[in-house]
């Protein structure tokens, strides 16, 4: 049986801006249906990575494949399978909302399936001029434009920062619902970690152009722990980072080690992504 085609495959990616290396031998593969959080402090390289994988920026080395095709020579078929939500929508200011939706739909084959939930969620006035929309309304429109033609790979760069709490809450409920229904793959970058904790099944934490931790939700819950003191060498765990309270974060934890830790007076806690992120970002 042939291997399934991966929605996203990034190998040995390097991107430099004059003397600054924004991506440093970056590797990432996403399987169909994964919902992955891309986390990292300011300047970690998230937007650069997204720019490269959408073909907006050219890499200095390495390769990006989307649905098996090189990002620099995508066919229209694969291009149409990708939805991108930017941090803010720019351009198109002279259009009315409804006109823009019709105009962009003209670039799609007539039989392209649509998903109306995004238009309902966005609740935009089709007669409103885009230049008169608020920042949050423009962002709703950006989301509609990216998702209404049922993409199979969705890339979102800080998509919810300008949304009001209700819109953000509803979007974060609809996004995984959509992904599960259509088997879509999602890569979402956000600084609002509490939003991502409930919807992502993988967490990719990057710093200085590289991945410092890439774990599934299951591994995070099963094998990553906060310890109140350094682990014993014979436990065979890997120290990820010191914690602010004097303890440490470790990976490779096994259930059998709980008793050993108890015997040494070491308190063991389940991970909280935000605290772990803060420790790994320092």
Ligand X SMILES: Nc1ncnc2c1ncn2[C@@H]1O[C@H](COP(=O)(O)OP(=O)(O)OP(=O)(O)O)[C@@H](O)[C@H]1O
Task: Give contact residues for ligand X (rule: CB under 6 A).
Answer: 17, 20, 22, 40, 42-48
What is the C-alpha to C-alpha distance for residues 241 and 34, in angstroms, rounded to an integer?
26
Q: How many residues in the chain?
A: 282
What is the C-alpha to C-alpha distance for residues 162 and 43, in angstroms, rounded to an integer?
20
When the beta carbons of 47 and 223 are compared against ligand X, the nearer one is 47
When the beta carbons of 48 and 185 are compared against ligand X, the nearer one is 48
In the complex, the smallest distance separating the C-beta of residue 173 from ligand X, rounded to whole angstroms, is 24
When the beta carbons of 80 and 210 are compared against ligand X, the nearer one is 210
In the complex, the smallest distance separating the C-beta of residue 40 from ligand X, rounded to whole angstroms, is 5
Two structure tokens written together for 48? 């650069």
In the complex, the smallest distance separating the C-beta of residue 20 from ligand X, rounded to whole angstroms, is 5
DSSP sequence for 94-156: TSBHHHHHHHHHTTS-TT----THHHHHH---TTSBGGGS-HHHHHHHHHHHHHTT--SEEEE
In the complex, the smallest distance separating the C-beta of residue 111 from ligand X, rounded to whole angstroms, is 37
What is the C-alpha to C-alpha distance for residues 203 and 196, in angstroms, rounded to an integer?
9
When the beta carbons of 39 and 119 are compared against ligand X, the nearer one is 39
In the complex, the smallest distance separating the C-beta of residue 157 from ligand X, rounded to whole angstroms, is 8
CA distances (Å), 1 to each of 5, 32, 66, 91, 190, in order? 12, 17, 21, 46, 37
When the beta carbons of 154 and 237 are compared against ligand X, the nearer one is 154
């Amino acid at each position: 049986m042939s291997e399934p085609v991966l929605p996203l495959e990034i190998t040995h990616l390097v991107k430099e801006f004059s003397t600054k290396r924004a991506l440093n031998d970056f590797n990432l593969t996403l399987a169909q249906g994964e919902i992955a959080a891309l986390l990292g402090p300011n300047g970690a390289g998230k937007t650069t990575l997204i720019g490269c994988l959408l073909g907006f920026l050219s890499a200095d080395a390495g390769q990006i494949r989307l649905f098996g095709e090189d990002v620099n020579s995508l066919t229209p078929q694969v291009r149409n399978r990708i939805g991108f939500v930017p941090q803010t929508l720019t351009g198109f200011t002279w259009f009315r909302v409804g006109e823009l939706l019709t105009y962009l739909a003209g670039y799609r084959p007539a039989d392209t399936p649509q998903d109306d939930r995004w238009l309902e969620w966005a609740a935009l006035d089709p007669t409103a001029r885009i230049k008169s929309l608020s920042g949050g309304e423009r962002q709703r429109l950006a989301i509609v434009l990216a998702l209404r033609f049922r993409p199979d790979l969705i890339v979102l760069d800080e998509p919810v920062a300008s949304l009001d709490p209700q819109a953000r809450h509803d979007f974060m409920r609809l996004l995984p619902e959509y992904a599960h229904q259509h088997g879509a793959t999602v890569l979402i970058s956000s600084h609002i970690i509490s939003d991502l904790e409930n919807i992502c099944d993988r967490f990719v934490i990057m710093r200085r152009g590289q991945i410092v931790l890439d774990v599934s939700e299951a591994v995070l819950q099963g094998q990553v722990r906060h310890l109140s003191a350094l682990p014993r060498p014979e436990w065979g765990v890997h120290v990820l980072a010191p914690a602010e309270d004097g303890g440490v974060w470790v990976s490779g934890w096994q259930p059998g080690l709980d008793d050993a830790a108890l015997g040494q007076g070491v308190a063991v806690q389940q991970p909280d992504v935000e605290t772990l992120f803060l420790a790994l970002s320092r």
